[in-house]
């Protein structure tokens, strides 16, 4: 097919009209896909009017599974995007100029892959939770500052790509993505992770490099299937001892702030809400109807264990929580690790100077 045939569709004012679109649609039954810019030209532009025309022509096509609309200088998507055929499984909108997404896009509930990298998105629509069959979501290289709470509704998600944005925090709802296998969120502005990250029981790869992380939650040690944890280029001074529970872990730690730290215990006195919740636990109170919302939220937090005796730690501890920095060996690294004990006695009993696995 001649190069000017595709350009004639996208820039009809410069070239004569051709049957390119009709020819492409006719071939969909055998190809299963349509790419409007297969050569990746940067001079091609698709107007709103042409986009609507394209959608209407494809509305009755029953075999289209993949649609590629890359590098077409799209600034907006029309509401008619929801009229794309129900056979569509992958929609690629990478390398355009999209600053927002219409709610109608989320009516394509049959989508399994949505690729939005290289745009100018500042947020994702809350309606994204309707994409219940979505397995891959690429939002890399945008201008995202936050991730909507509704992301937790994408329970079929296996790959989530959020790298190269300006994200400052992840919502706790991220912990609902129990089928997630890969999470790439490097080159953002994360300072900490939600403790719910420990609920991602299927996670195999977690890339957090080049953020601003100062610590990791202990719950990261619950990621039993994790094979790769990439932490280089952060501001970590120590690791939680629980990370040693993950076997066969490929770990990168260069470019952090690890240094020799004093090993004297640091004791925290529990807050009033810690004592309140501990009393509720001890009394085995199960009804939460009359409890304040803040207490209910605290009760739902994950439980840690004493490094020495294994006793459950709740809140800041049953009586007090004792922190000790010691040295731990993780693969090729020897770094400070944070151990937490339920009391000073357990801290004294712990004589291990190296925690972790070679």
- Looking at residue 4, its pLDDT comes to 40
Last residue of a domain, one of 252, 281, 303: 252
| Residue 326 token pair | 């010691």
The pLDDT tens digits for 6-45 are: 444 444 443 333 455 555 555 554 556 777 777 666 667 7
* Domain assignment of residue 265, given as a range: 260-358
Span of 1-15, 251-265, 310-324, 336-350 with lowest mean pLDDT: 1-15
- Looking at residue 312, its pLDDT comes to 62
- Does 196 score more than 50 pLDDT? yes
pTM here is 0.79
Helices and strands counted in the chain (H then E): 6, 17
Count of structural domains within the chain: 2
Are residues 115 and 93 in contact, defined by beta-carbon separation less than 8 angstroms? Answer: yes
Span of 133-147, 155-169, 297-311, 316-330 with lowest mean pLDDT: 316-330
Q: What's the chain's average pLDDT? A: 80
- Looking at residue 1, its pLDDT comes to 32
Instruction: Indicate which CATH number applies to the domain containing 28.
Output: 3.80.10.10
Are residues 299 and 283 in contact, defined by beta-carbon separation less than 8 angstroms? Answer: no
Q: 103 versus 242: which is more confidently predicted?
A: 103
C-alpha pair distances (Å), 85 with each of 19, 56, 81, 107, 110: 21, 10, 10, 11, 10
Last residue of a domain, one of 232, 252, 272: 252
Compute φ and ψ for 195, nearest 5 degrees.
Answer: -65, -20
Same domain, 37 and 185: yes
- Looking at residue 32, its pLDDT comes to 67
- Looking at residue 94, its pLDDT comes to 96
- Looking at residue 311, its pLDDT comes to 65
* 87 DSSP 8-state letter: T
- Token look-up 């990478």 returns 94
- Looking at residue 74, its pLDDT comes to 93
* Cα 324 versus chain centre, distance: 31
Same domain, 30 and 123: yes
- Does 316 score more than 50 pLDDT? no
- Does 117 score more than 60 pLDDT? yes
| Residue 79 token pair | 């509401």
The count of residues in the chain is: 358
Return the sign of the alpha-carbon dihedral for residues 199, 205, 211, 216: positive
Count of C-beta atoms within a 10 Å radius of residue 345: 12
Proportion of the chain above pLDDT 70, given as a percent: 69
Proportion of the chain above pLDDT 90, given as a percent: 48
Same domain, 182 and 283: no
Same domain, 27 and 173: yes
Same domain, 313 and 240: no
228: left (phi over 0), alpha (psi -120 to 50) or beta: beta
| Residue 343 token pair | 């009391």
The pLDDT tens digits for 65-91 are: 999 999 989 999 999 999 999 999 999
- Concatenated DSSP letters of 195-243: GGGGG-TT--EEE--SS------GGGGG-TT--EEE--SS--S-EEGGG
- 182 band by pLDDT with thresholds 50, 70 and 90: very high
User: Biggest alpha carbon distance in the chain?
Assistant: 85
Same domain, 87 and 181: yes
Last residue of a domain, one of 252, 280, 296: 252
């Amino acid at each position: 097919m001649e190069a000017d045939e595709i350009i004639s569709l996208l820039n009809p004012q410069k070239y004569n009209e051709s049957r390119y679109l009709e020819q492409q649609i006719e071939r969909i039954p055998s190809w299963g896909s349509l790419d409007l810019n297969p050569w990746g030209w940067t001079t091609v532009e698709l107007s709103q009017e042409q986009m609507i025309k394209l959608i209407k022509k494809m509305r009755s096509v029953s075999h289209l599974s993949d649609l590629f609309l890359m590098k077409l200088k799209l600034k907006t998507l029309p509401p008619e995007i929801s009229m794309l055929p129900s056979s569509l499984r992958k929609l690629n909108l990478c390398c355009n100029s999209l600053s927002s997404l219409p709610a109608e896009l989320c009516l394509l509930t049959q989508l399994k892959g949505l690729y939005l990298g290289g745009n100018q998105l500042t947020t994702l629509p809350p309606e994204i939770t309707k994409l219940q069959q979505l397995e891959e979501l690429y939002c890399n290289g945008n201008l995202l500052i936050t991730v909507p709470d509704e992301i937790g509704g994408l329970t079929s998600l296996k790959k989530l790509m959020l790298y190269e944005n300006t994200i400052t925090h992840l919502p706790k709802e991220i912990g609902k993505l129990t089928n997630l296998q890969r999470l790439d969120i490097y080159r953002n502005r994360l300072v900490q992770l939600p403790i719910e990250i420990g609920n991602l029981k299927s996670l195999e790869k977690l890339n957090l490099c080049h953020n601003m992380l100062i610590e990791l939650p202990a719950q990261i040690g619950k990621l039993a299937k994790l094979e790769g944890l990439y932490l280089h280029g952060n501001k970590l001074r120590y690791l939680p001892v629980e990370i040693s529970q993950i076997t066969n872990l490929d770990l990168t730690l260069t470019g952090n702030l690890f240094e020799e730290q004093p090993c004297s215990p640091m004791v925290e006195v529990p807050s009033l809400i810690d004592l309140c919740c501990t009393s509720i636990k001890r009394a085995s109170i199960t009804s939460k109807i009359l409890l304040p919302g803040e207490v209910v939220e605290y009760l739902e937090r994950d439980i840690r264990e004493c490094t020495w005796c294994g006793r459950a730690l709740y809140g800041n501890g049953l009586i007090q929580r004792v922190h000790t920095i010691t040295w731990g060996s993780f693969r090729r690294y020897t770094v400070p690790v944070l151990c937490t004990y339920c009391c000073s006695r357990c801290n004294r009993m712990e004589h291990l100077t190296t925690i972790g696995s070679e």
